[in-house]
Amino acid sequence: MLSARHLANVSKASSKALVAGSRRSAVRVIRNVGGARALTTTNAQTDRDTITRLLYSIGTKREVERYLRIFSSSSHPSQPAKFAVIKVGGAVLDELDELALSLSFLYRVGLYPVVLHGAGPQLNSIIEAAGVVPDYSDGIRITDAKTLQIARRVFLEENLKLVAALEKLGCRARPITSGVFTADYLDQEKYGLVGKITKIDKRPIEASIRAGALPILTSLAESDGGQILNVNADIAAGELAKELEPLKIVFLNEKGGLFHGVTGEKLDVINLDEEYDGLMKESWVKYGTKLKLREIKDLLDHLPRSSSVAIISASSLQKELFTDSGAGTLIRRGYKLFKHASIEAVGADRLRQVIHDRDPDVLSGQVSVAGVLNELKKTPCTIYGDEALDVVGIVSHPPGEVPVLTKLLASRNGVLNSVVDNVFAAIKRDHRRLFWTARTDDAASSGAAVYGSPAATTLGAASSNDAASPGRAEWHFERADGSFTRAGRSLFWYGIQNIDDVEDCIKDLEKKGRIERSYLPVGPSAPPHRATPATNPTGQRAFSTLARRLNMGTTRGYATAASVPSTEPKRLALIGARGFTGRTLTGLLSSHPHLSLSHVSSRQLAGYPLENYTKDKVVYSNLSVEDVNKMEKTGEVDAWVMALPNGAAKPFVDAIDAGAKDRTDGGSVVVDLSADYRFEQGWTYGLPELYGRQQVRASKRVSNPGCYATSAQLLLGPLVKHGLVAPGIVPTVFGMSGYSGAGTVAGATDPDGRPTTVAKVPPESLAGGVRPYALTDHIHEREAGTHLSSLLAPGSIPMKVAFVPSVAPWFSGILSVLSAPLTRKVTAAEIRALYEDMYKDESLIHILKGVPELKDVEGKQGWSVGGFQVHSERDRAVVVGGLDNLLKGAATQCLQNLNLALGYDEFAGIPLDQ
């Protein structure tokens, strides 16, 4: 949880300019997370980024970003008050600093709750001090003229205190003490000047938010005749919520939730549709608790199912709103689950509409709704879901066969309210083992996990509801005992621990057409893994009201078949091993524990022994395109590396593609070292430290990045990811490479008649200096800009990079200097921290104290970065990075990609101590 001290430090640091002159800061409309528009100050994006990063300490990045998208997309300039209504109890006002920090936190991420406060304890203190005993009837304060006079003064004072505390933190707030609630007398004879709300004018609230200020309301109302009336703050908050229909209604109290009257345990979740009647009969639910539950049920019955009520403490507001586990007591209408054995029992028209709206294969035109329904009728199945059909799961289970989850279609509400997890739990209760499949590209990128026909399934609406996505690829891995990924598709299962049994099941499923492609033989996979807090392994709310239970989705690490990287011996063919890079790669392969070099092709060296490979005796051959096609058809090798000049690899790759069509295992892995496929659809760009490992693990075609481009992208990555590179302004990278980077040409034969190669740019030709070349339009400009653009927010201007290379008189090693204009003022220490955070777990990246020199990169396996500087005007950063162009710039990175694609440990054969 974010502490008050942390929030205070952030608020003070990020709002210093606002405190000095907040009224001078311009208010403007900006694009919010998820594409929604919100009103905020010119400093808001800086604040938002800082607070968002802090949020990651209370939950996973996935959770935080999902809830930010959901909440931000709930508001629109025409109806800006749909995020949340927060009712602040009088006792909470005594913790003013904590309350102000929590509300300021929301303001700084672009969220504008409507805040309404009471002042009961403060009012009682003043009344008692005046010698008046507070009088109540049916829990309602009897209000005479003197009590109302005191109440008005107390409400105004407490309102202004909260507004002042917020503005002290740089958060704009507007006191609204009248003009919102219109009321009639509740019962003038019995209760005096107490009102029953009859009308709400939301215009003052919406005007405040449009002006970029939090609306702070009191629970005083006015009659049509102008008489001020006292209104219970809980009731006022409920009536306000009915009018605004927000996603969240939050009641802040000092206890932080509702508690079981017998066990004393805090109630995590109350699903009213399932549990209300039973709770109201419990002996410990009485008086105030019973009244509160009744009022909340009445409130939620009037609101969309996506709305919920949270009862929490002020200090837990962030955790409640931005994590799946929450902090206080969440009360929602809930979802009564069903399971039926036929389409008719669910309702054919209702199910047809769900499939039409959410099934990705239907939306993409691959299948029709009628086709999906006809498939369901052919095989015994059970349909699971909730009464609102916010989630529908279908399990196919012919007698005596392993069950397959063929569909799991969730709406935004189904994800937001964790219905998808409850439906999956119901499925797991009925089926002790289960298989399902997912496209890893969709699961990892769009956030919607898509399953292919006939096992076609999706999580989250498959159209534009990325904000509702339940956890991307991690959702599946967390619920599986095992998984296997091949060619962009993953197979998941639970309930089977023996890998031989898994293969037997898969054979049977493939034979009977219940899964659509070959997953045999089963090999390793590596899901995108993340740690979860030890106190709640799932990060999900328990389904039970009365006790917190661990969900079935406990994080399981890397799945049964993938828990240990593969050690299976495999064979590699290298096409074009004559140059510097080919020689370097063969040297590394000599130390690889599992991968053996079986074929090395070079037209000039055919018949000569390969000299720098020590594991086995290998002789150069001259493989033709026909030879390569035949080898691929017969599976003679497991992987190919193309170490050919630009433009020369295509005939060989085409031959491999043609040969792979006759194989049932998807064919061999291909890694290309040239620039030919770095922009090609269907190829994975293999820079693991920046773009992740999972796509490489799932790919059969990997394009190895260029040496200069690798260093340039690693230099720019942290700045681009955190929005520090000014859109439309081109950063510059100046690079100097050893002469080996210029390649080789044929040389004279050696005394044995063996052809040799020599450097295309001999060092003596440089006369001890450097030679700039390709001063504009170098291919690495396009390469770096294209792939870095994937780190930008959707809709951003594509990235451009200016790159100027030079060749230097040393053999190998690149030093690159980045000069990047910034979007906001930062310090050098802040820049360094971004790199340390982004690359802290990377074995081949080294962050240096000083400026990297040639000795730090030449002959080293990884990339080094340092020399973090910011211009005196703090608007331009300079960072220096370096690598060996033959190692991390080529051969080492190639071996990383081979290892990942073949299921080995990523660093097998790579000496990490160099």
Query: Measured between alpha carbons, how far is 807 from 737 in angstroms, rounded to an integer?
Result: 5
Give burial (CB, 10 Å; 0-12/13-18/19+) of 232.
buried
The burial class, CB within 10 Å (0-12 / 13-18 / 19+), for 433 is middle
Query: What's the rounded Cα separation, in Å, for the pair 880 and 711?
Result: 9
Q: Are 578 and 301 in contact (CB under 8 A)?
A: no
The string of DSSP letters for 429-455 reads HH-SSEEEEEEHHHHHHTS-EE--SSS
| Residues contacting residue 679 through CB under 8 Å, at least 6 positions apart | 782, 783, 786
Which amino acid is present at 433?
R
Cα separation, 226 vs 823, whole angstroms: 52
Is residue 64 within 8 A of residue 228, CB to CB? The reply is no
Identify any residues that bridge with 726 across adjacent strands, giving them in sequence order. none
Q: What b/e sequence results for 701-712 when a residue is b if at least 16 CB atoms lie within 10 Å of its CB, and e otherwise?
A: bbbbbbbbbbbb
d(CA 207, CA 112): 12
Residue 35's region, left for phi above 0, alpha for psi from -120 to 50, else beta, is left
Residues 171, 381, 505, 707: which is the catalytic one? 707
The rounded distance, in Å, linking the Cα atoms of 706 and 452 is 35
Continuous segment of H or E residues that includes residue 745: strand 744-746
Burial 526-560 (b: 16+ CB within 10 A, else e): bbbeeebeeebbbbbbbbebbebeebbbebbebbb
- Strand 876-883 vs strand 814-821: parallel, antiparallel, or unpaired? antiparallel
| Cα separation, 597 vs 440, whole angstroms | 30
- The CA–CA distances, whole Å, from 340 to 123, 374, 392, 415 equal 56, 17, 11, 22
Query: Is 707 a catalytic site residue?
Result: yes
List all residues 6 or more positions away from 609 whose beta carbon is below 8 Å from its beta carbon. Answer: 617, 618, 619, 620
Q: Is 170 left (phi over 0), alpha (psi -120 to 50) or beta?
A: left
What is the residue whose two structure tokens read 């029709």?
368
- Tell me whether residue 634 is exposed, middle or buried, using C-beta atoms within 10 angstroms of its C-beta: 0 to 12, 13 to 18, 19 or more: exposed
Residue type, 261: G
Pairing label, strands 391-396, 381-386: antiparallel
- The two structure tokens encoding residue 536: 């709640």
List the structure tokens of 814. 């690149």
To the nearest 10 degrees (0 to 180), the angle between helices 272-281 and 287-301 is 160
- Cα distance between residue 325 and residue 724, in whole Å: 32
SS3 at position 344: helix
How far apart CA 103 and CA 123 sit, in angstroms, is 23
The dihedral built from the CA positions of residue 289, 292, 298 and 302, taken in this order, carries a sign that is: negative
Which pair of tokens denotes residue 84? 């949340």
Q: Distance between alpha carbon 758 and the CA centroid of its chain, in Å?
A: 48
Task: Give catalytic residues, as residue numbers.
Answer: 707
